[in-house]
Structure 1
Amino acid sequence: MAHIVGIHGIWNNRSARAQMHEEWLAAITRGLKNVRSAHTDTLTFESAFYGHEYNDGKASDDPHYTEADLDEGFETEFAEAMAATLPDETDGHKGGRDALIRLVNCDLAEGVMSRLVGFIKQVRRYLEDDEFRRLVHAEVSNAMETRPQVVIGHSLGSVIAYDWLQRNRPDEPPALITIGSPLGYETIRKQLHQPMDRSRWPDGARTWTNIAAGLDPVALVKDLAPLFHPDIEDLPCTNRLPNPHSALQYLDNVWTSKRIDKALS
């Protein structure tokens, strides 16, 4: 049995399961120590690691991506949706490539165009490639056999966690914690639901807490309760620059630690 299952987000195709396990467990443990959790010394963690599945020559983090590589359809719509949530939106043409420029200028993907396009392509592949999604869900299913009390999904991992918990109902539903989540975007929600059912509680979750940092450019839609279900607890947090989207910053944040402690008690 593992107390927590963690599902990572984008840009992990050059990482490894052992690295994720070490880094996530250390961050979670630090946070639990800060809140004097009784579970600090007994905590067990299972990684739902799928990053290696991107290393098959398809969309990942090609260092040569430019704005010209942004495809029409989901990729353009997602870029425009993210750019539309930025402050001080100006009038004028707001096409997909203009949206990319605005997102790069706000330091999404560390201000690197190739990483931004790669991020969008990784999200698209999970949502539209049925075979790839099957591989990811198989990894999550294997991790969930440990019967966790908590599932934590970061970034794209929050989309995967939500999607898996919609389709599966564990005998003992876990508490769901989403961190740095892009689930607030309509372009993503419409890929997960039927057109008339874009607001839904995942039946496989006992509770749902969503934590979004004020400066996180991926979780620009901070509150999920108005979009999915009023029982979601939306909590703000503050992550440090230059990478406020960092999973490790979220994992030892006081709100994450308190919600983990509560779920394990």
Structure 2
Amino acid sequence: MSRIVAVHGVNQYDPTRGADAAAARLGAAWARALSQNVPSPLGASELSMTYYADLLQAAHPAPEGQGPGDDVDRLAPEAVDAVLRWGELLGVRTREAQGRVLAPVRWVADGVAKRYGFGHEPVRKFVARFFPDLLAYLHSPARTRVRQRLADAIARHEPRVLIAHSLGSIVAYDTLWQYTDLKVDVLVTLGSPLAMPDVVLPYLRHPDDSRAFSRPPGAAAWVNLADPGDLVAVPQPLTDTFRGVTACVSTGIGAFRMHKAGGYLSSAATAKAVLAYLEPIG
């Protein structure tokens, strides 16, 4: 039994390990990061990671011969469309990229990098990794298997805290709406893209449409944390789109860590949100 069940974000596939070993390794890293601002370190059994990257990898294997330098130019058409919509949210005039640029995704990524003061290559790599995972979850049969894996983990551990980063926040939200008998004291989301119009919002599923875009019934509370410069957590705040969010916390995690799980987990704001729903550790 773990008091915390965690759900990772994109780009976590580990081809050298099976799912259980990869989950254990990633969960230990999350526990170490989260322990930086708690009274005593989290024990090995305190946090259980729900690993699902293997399921997404099966849904969108990398094209043969694809390397880190050409990923951004070889995205599927639906991913290209999602990147263009994302660029519009961030103030990049993507209409100029359509039909007039041979590499529209690269053009948008570079426009975002310039606008927000990031290096071109890190933003290109981020785009190439984020959008294929996001679309593989939203638009493939892997979605059902991912939700089932998380539902099984929550049922097994009966955690007080469900903490999810990036794409994992969509997985957590989806799962709690699909399996309304599951209960947690708090859903903690970090750098969440849940409110992203066109790309994410239209594909969220709610069995009860009257409660669409609201805190899942199985979460007694919902705390969202977002760096104000996070290029994925857009638009902010989440309360503008979702009802029943207990708190939206704007927390800076560093200019060059604007969407990294480690940056969020090691922040005092995240520790405070988690500890508020746990008995004292130690």
Same fold, TM-score > 0.5, yes or no: yes
Give 1:168's aligned residue: 179
How much has 1:169 moved relative to structure 2? Answer: 2.5
Cα shift readout 1:139-181 (whole Å, capped 9, x = no counterpart): 2123212000000110000110010011113454330000011
User: Where does structure 2 lack aligned partners over 5 or more consecutive residues?
Assistant: 16-21, 99-103
> Given the alignment of the two structures, is residue 141 of structure 1 paired with residue 143 of structure 2, yes or no?
no
How much has 1:8 moved relative to structure 2? Answer: 0.1
- Please tell me whether the aligned partners of residues 7 and 154 of structure 1 are also in contact (alpha carbons under 8 angstroms): yes
- Please tell me whether the aligned partners of residues 81 and 185 of structure 1 are also in contact (alpha carbons under 8 angstroms): no
Report the residue type matching 2:146 in the other structure.
Answer: V
Return the alpha-carbon distance in structure 1 between the equivalents of residues 96 and 260 of structure 2: 32
Match of 1:234 among 245, 248, 257: 248
Give 1:188's aligned residue: 200
- Please tell me whether the aligned partners of residues 4 and 45 of structure 1 are also in contact (alpha carbons under 8 angstroms): yes
- Please tell me whether the aligned partners of residues 104 and 116 of structure 1 are also in contact (alpha carbons under 8 angstroms): no
> Given the alignment of the two structures, is residue 20 of structure 1 paired with residue 26 of structure 2, yes or no?
yes
How much has 1:217 moved relative to structure 2? Answer: 1.4
- Going from structure 1 to structure 2, the CA distance change for 1:231 and 1:11 (only over 3 Å counts) comes to closer
The count of residues paired between Structure 1 and Structure 2 equals 257
Cα shift readout 1:42-82 (whole Å, capped 9, x = no counterpart): 97111101122234382459535445433344x24421232
> Given the alignment of the two structures, is residue 158 of structure 1 paired with residue 163 of structure 2, yes or no?
no
Return the alpha-carbon distance in structure 2 between the equivalents of residues 158 and 117 of structure 1: 20
Cα shift readout 1:28-51 (whole Å, capped 9, x = no counterpart): 122213xxx7x9569711110112
Identity of aligned residues (%): 23
Q: How does 1:16-165 map to 2 (within 5 A)?
A: 16-33=22-39, 44-56=46-58, 58-59=60-61, 62-63=66-67, 65-73=70-78, 75-87=79-91, 89=92, 93=96, 95=98, 97=105, 98-105=107-114, 106=116, 107=118, 111=122, 113-130=124-141, 132-144=142-154, 145-165=156-176
Give 2:10's aligned residue: 10
- Please tell me whether the aligned partners of residues 32 and 42 of structure 2 are also in contact (alpha carbons under 8 angstroms): no
User: Where does structure 1 lack aligned partners over 5 or more consecutive residues?
Assistant: none
SS at match of 1:259: helix
- Going from structure 1 to structure 2, the CA distance change for 1:60 and 1:214 (only over 3 Å counts) comes to farther
Give 1:209's aligned residue: 223
TM-score normalized by structure 1? Answer: 0.84
SS at match of 2:277: helix
Return the alpha-carbon distance in structure 2 between the equivalents of residues 114 and 91 of structure 1: 19
How much has 1:211 moved relative to structure 2? Answer: 0.3
TM-score normalized by structure 2? Answer: 0.79
How much has 1:234 moved relative to structure 2? Answer: 0.8
Report the residue type matching 1:143 in the other structure.
Answer: A
Return the alpha-carbon distance in structure 2 between the equivalents of residues 230 and 148 of structure 1: 20
Report the residue type matching 2:135 in the other structure.
Answer: R
Return the alpha-carbon distance in structure 1 between the equivalents of residues 251 and 167 of structure 2: 19
Give 2:19's aligned residue: none
- Going from structure 1 to structure 2, the CA distance change for 1:109 and 1:173 (only over 3 Å counts) comes to farther
Give 2:18's aligned residue: none
